Amino acid sequence: MRRTWLIFSQAVTVAVAALFVVATLKPDWLPRRSDGSVVTVLPSLAPVAPAQPVALAPGATVFSYAAAAQRATPAVVSITARKAPPRSAQSNDPWFRFFFGDGNPQPQTGLGSGVIATPDGYLLTNNHVIEGADDIEVQLTDGRTATAKLIGTDPETDVAVLKIELDRVPAISFGNTENLHVGDVVLAIGNPFGVGQTVTSGIVSALGRDQLGINTFENFIQTDAAINPGNSGGALVDAAGNLVGINTAIYSRNGGSMGIGFAIPVDTARQVMEGLIRDGQVMRGWIGVEPRELTPEIAETLRLPIRQGVLITGVLQSGPASEGGLRPGDVVVKVGDKPVASTGQLLNAVASLKPRETAVISVQRGDKALELNVVVGQRPKARTRQPQ
C-alpha cells in the first residue's frame, strides 16, 4: 500500500510539473474557451467568486461619527505654554560673559490641548501641560487666539483650570461617566505633535484604572483611541460628542501611541474645576492613616474572617482616625456606603468626603466587625507623601 501511494504521489508531481512547463513555454498547446482564455486546473478548496462593485441604494446612509466630532471639536483648543529660559549662576559674572558671551538662551515651549468647559471661557487641561509656564496662549479652531489666565492647578489629579477673555466661545457638553461602559465608542480630540487638531476613534478598554503611579488620585478611563504627545489636556468624548474624560497619559515604549491611553473621568475634572473656581483649591477629606494592601497571606496570618479590605499599618497621633478609634492592624472594608478593596479605593473614598463631616468607617478588628464614627479632616496640600 505504501509503495502504491508513493508511485501515485510521484506521478501527480510529474504531471503538475509538466503542466507548468507547457503553460510557460507552449501555452498554445492548452485548450481554450470560446473567449480565448486558457483553461487551467489548479487545486482549490472552494470556488472563489470574482469581486463585484458594490453600489449603495439611493438614500442609504453610512454610519459615521462626523456629527459627534463636529459637535465637540470647536470646544477643543491648542495650548502653547512658554517658560523663561533657565539662567546659570555665572550669567551675571562679567568675566564669565567676557569669555563665553551673553548667549541667547531660547524660551522653553510646550504644546498641549485644552477643553472649553463653560461659555464664559473657563478651560480644562492637564497640570503638566502648563506647569511652570510664564505665558500661556490658547488658539481656538476658528483661528482666534488669547492669552490665558491660570485660575488654579491640582497636581494630585493633574488638572489645571485656565480662563480666556473672548466673546462667544463654544463650550463642550458634559457627559456622564456612570453611563460609560467598556466597549463604548469614544473619540480623542487634540493637537498631537503640534500638527493641528486631530480626531481619533477607539473604544473604552477599561474603567477605574489605578495604581499606575501617574497621579495621587487615579481612576482612569483606558482607551485604545490614538493619543500622542500634544493630546494631553484634550477631550475624550462619547459617540454623541459629550465630554467623558480629559486625555492625560499614554503607555508607550517609543513616545508614540501603542493603543493604551488614559483619561481623567469628566466628573473628577469637573469637581476639581468647580473647587478651584469657587475656593481656589480642592477641598478633600483626610483621616490620617497609612494603608497597605491586604494580601491573602496577611489575612491568614492575622486570622481574619475576610479576604478583602485595606490594612491600616499606621495611624497619625491625634489625627481624625485616631480620635475616631481606628488602630493599627484594623482592616477598613467600607467608607460610608463605599466598599474598599485597595489602597487606591480607600484614598478616593476618603478624599470624596467633606471636611468636618462625620463618616462611618466599617473595619474588621480580628474577629470583630466594628463601625467607627470619624470626623473627617481636610487633606493637607501635597508636598511629600502624605498619610491618607
Q: What is the DSSP string of 250-291?
A: E--SSSS--S-EEEEEHHHHHHHHHHHHHHSS---EE--EEE
Catalytic: which of 78, 128, 224, 238?
Answer: 128
Q: What are phi and psi of 266, to 5 degrees?
A: -65, -30
Nearest to 237 by CA among 68, 66, 63: 68
Catalytic: which of 158, 224, 238, 330?
Answer: 158
Residues 6+ apart with CB under 8 A from 325: 372, 374
CB 359 within 8 A of CB 381: no
- Rounded to an integer, what distance in angstroms lies between the CA atom of residue 246 and that of residue 129? 12
Catalytic: which of 78, 205, 232, 257?
Answer: 232
- Rounded to an integer, what distance in angstroms lies between the CA atom of residue 260 and that of residue 254? 13
- Rounded to an integer, what distance in angstroms lies between the CA atom of residue 174 and that of residue 233? 15
Note if 9 is an active site residue. no
Amino acid at 371: E
- Rounded to an integer, what distance in angstroms lies between the CA atom of residue 307 and that of residue 299? 6
Note if 128 is an active site residue. yes
Q: Which residues are catalytic?
A: 128, 158, 232
